[in-house]
Amino acid sequence: MPAIAALSINNGATALSFSPASVTGNIAEWEYTGDSSYYDGRKVLTLSVSKPSKSKVARVKGTVTIPIMDPTFESQKNGEMRVNIDVIVPKISVATDRLVMANIAKNFLASTAFQTALADLLPTY
């Protein structure tokens, strides 16, 4: 298992450095506090891996949480945007299969269809 280290994640304009925050069980958490001095204003990434047991599948879960802070009362969180990633992998799959799947998922998220749906909150038709 790799040791938890800082993650550099590009937000579309610049790279943000997410610092290791905690490891609890199999869940690692990173946070970015660079644009908010308030606890509720931190951006959070989580990652966990569950090994296969009787189910014969492994799960890799990731979460991106971005708070929406009040523009007037900067310490007040009005809500949050969240991306939940839940990857189910049969234990018989090989690393190359998993990498192909990861690349397809990454490129789907980067596709014009997905980006437009997210930006404009309009379905594809």
Instruction: Classify residue 30 by its DSSP letter.
Output: E
Residues 46 and 107 in one domain: no
Query: How does pLDDT run across 50-77, given as a tens digit for each residue?
Result: 998 888 999 999 999 999 988 898 888 9
Query: How does pLDDT run across 4-32, given as a tens digit for each residue?
Result: 899 999 988 999 999 999 999 999 999 99
Q: Is residue 47 part of a domain?
A: yes
**Residue 120 belongs to domain spanning:** 94-125
Residues 61 and 121 in one domain: no
Query: How does pLDDT run across 101-112, given as a tens digit for each residue?
Result: 999 999 999 999
Residues 73 and 103 in one domain: no
Residues 56 and 114 in one domain: no
Residues 99 and 47 in one domain: no
- pLDDT of residue 124 exceeding 90: no
Residues 48 and 86 in one domain: yes
Domain count, the chain: 2
- DSSP strand E in 1-125: where? 7-10, 15-24, 27-32, 43-50, 57-69, 77-90
Give residue 40's pLDDT.
85
Give residue 1's pLDDT.
60
